Structure 1
């Protein structure tokens, strides 16, 4: 039962929490610019994590460890979230952003082989390829290759690729240099570094005007509690428990789950192609995250 909990329920919870990030962004972005929205989100999250660290009497790393965590924060949270939010703000459909960021397992696996000397078997590479095909099928049906939602500007594409590079390299960097840090302390330091990046972007590029509607308040509450606190702590824990390429493969499940949420919240229908793609993605993830037992 304990093994089932760690191998299935915790990853499933993470995928669900992470998938709601696109929904939260869609609800919040009409009322604040991307870096401004993210800066507010980070500052509120730091209050929550600070209180949690005080209650739990968190162990703090040394200056060198804190420096590595700050780099991870800039990559995993700063570059990834900033890139995703600006790509959506610049007109790219969230599903297309999700598809581009969905390439992360392939990029992370290649980086893990190059920098961490991790071994990725042929079975796992096949799983990564199946995951990519599955995600592509889901988004192909949802948006259509010739629809207006498939069009995007070069700037939005650049932001999406920026997000992909950030989350991929950040996952590998966290596995190499920050896996031994206390989860709460490590996440607090990472968010602090990301907040600095968002503050620079907000003051340099944006007006910092915010319309505090009820929709924004509810969106912000979920982004802080569900995403920045719950999902990110689970992500750091999962990276600590498994190989970086295996953890990254979980992101293949995010677009199909997000498509299901869009159906429930916005009545976006799922056809046969999308459901087939979701099943293929799940099979791909299973090939990557499950190890073949030796004979």
Structure 2
């Protein structure tokens, strides 16, 4: 199970996102990446029998629409960006599969050991992918690169997956997944507070729509988020 999680969540998810981000503008990359909760909702219904109510799915869809609106000013679509789109969508599908597997596994083993192992397994897959794609092994070690690598590897990846795995043990996947729509909105707020950027009408509209979607998800009936005791499909 940890091998499958490492391949899908870390290998496909992180690999696809980083490869695609280099080919796409931030707007389109954000929209495609945030399709993940919708993919996960469908997969969770069929494989772990997590009941997805109409209201919950509507909330997820509205949250996604908010992300589309938020990213719209930076979106550009052209044939030259097709490969990047495939990478990002592949990463979103991989993350969705990994989330379903994590939810299935959550609460059954040690958090730190399990997540550490799956990250190592995922890094092995990424290493093979790097060789296959012909990427070089030379790294220009600068202070800015080292700082970025440290922040991405520990708080943004290792700590994140540990906290996520712990949350999945006590809450429905789709309810938790809806909060990932806040990522681009938080990015806009950080830009406002630390980099002197300003909100546009489009950004305010997108954030508002996303928050409405989250409210709908949080107010969805309790039975929409429970997982049935019998969970065929993976066993």
User: What range describes the TM-score normalised by the shorter chain of this pair?
Assistant: 0.7 to 0.9
Task: Please tell me whether the aligned partners of residues 106 and 166 of structure 2 are also in contact (alpha carbons under 8 angstroms).
Answer: no
The answer to whether 1:87 aligns with 2:20 is yes
CA distance in 2, matches of 1:164, 1:76: 9
Deviation at 1:258, TM superposition (A): 1.8
Q: Deviation digits for residues 254-281 of structure 1, max 9, x if unmatched? A: 1111222234455443201211211211
Q: What does residue 47 of structure 2 align with?
A: 115
5+ long unaligned stretches in structure 1? 1-67
Q: What does residue 130 of structure 1 align with?
A: 62
CA RMSD after TM alignment: 1.9
Deviation at 1:122, TM superposition (A): 1.9
TM-score by length of 2: 0.86
CA distance in 2, matches of 1:178, 1:241: 8
Task: Please tell me whether the aligned partners of residues 127 and 286 of structure 1 are also in contact (alpha carbons under 8 angstroms).
Answer: yes
Q: What does residue 155 of structure 2 align with?
A: 226
Do the aligned partners of residues 163 and 265 (structure 1) sit closer, same or farther apart at CA in structure 2, a change above 3 Å counting?
Answer: farther
Return the match for 1:164 from 71, 75, 92.
Answer: 92
The answer to whether 1:186 aligns with 2:114 is yes
Task: Please tell me whether the aligned partners of residues 71 and 193 of structure 1 are also in contact (alpha carbons under 8 angstroms).
Answer: no
Deviating 4+ runs (over 6 angstroms): none
How many aligned positions are there?
221
Stretch moving more, 239-248 or 207-216: 239-248
Task: Please tell me whether the aligned partners of residues 40 and 96 of structure 2 are also in contact (alpha carbons under 8 angstroms).
Answer: yes
Q: What does residue 212 of structure 1 align with?
A: 141
Aligned partner of residue 51 in structure 2, secondary structure? coil
Q: Deviation digits for residues 188-210 of structure 1, max 9, x if unmatched? A: 11111111112212233211111
5+ long unaligned stretches in structure 2? 224-235
Task: Please tell me whether the aligned partners of residues 74 and 197 of structure 1 are also in contact (alpha carbons under 8 angstroms).
Answer: yes
CA distance in 1, matches of 2:196, 2:77: 20
CA distance in 2, matches of 1:201, 1:268: 37
Q: Deviation digits for residues 113-164 of structure 1, max 9, x if unmatched? A: 11112211122122112101111110013x1x5xxx5545211011011101
Q: Could you say which structure has the higher helix fraction? A: 1
Task: Please tell me whether the aligned partners of residues 87 and 157 of structure 1 are also in contact (alpha carbons under 8 angstroms).
Answer: yes
Do the aligned partners of residues 291 and 153 (structure 1) sit closer, same or farther apart at CA in structure 2, a change above 3 Å counting?
Answer: closer
Deviation at 1:246, TM superposition (A): 1.4
Task: Please tell me whether the aligned partners of residues 63 and 211 of structure 2 are also in contact (alpha carbons under 8 angstroms).
Answer: yes
